[in-house]
Structure 1
């Protein structure tokens, strides 16, 4: 019984470490995504920025309509 308890405690620690790693990875990915995607603001001053948003919206529409 003592060995089984030790194994269960070890497995629980590994799961906790893994879930902590996953949470850290999700946070990192969210922060990276924030840096990669331009902010959406309602200014028409920069035509390049407007073209980027239009292209991104068009691409996302194409991908979402694609059948798997």
Structure 2
């Protein structure tokens, strides 16, 4: 354990002797409503952008006679 963790644990154990660090539990983050909305929009935009790039790539590969070369 690090120096800070040891110091924090020692301070907590003075009042609660059975205190210990739980290292393997998955941490959960609580988001504000605004942050959750922003994350949702970002997720949608990222998937939309991936779809656009994929469609352009497929269109470019499948269409060898593009109008640019005419």
Provide the TM-score with structure 1 as the length reference: 0.48
The structure with the largest helix share of the pair is 1
* Greater Cα radius of gyration, structure 1 or 2: 2
Bigger relative CO (Cα 8 Å, ≥ 6 apart)? 2
Give TM-score scaled by structure 2 length: 0.47
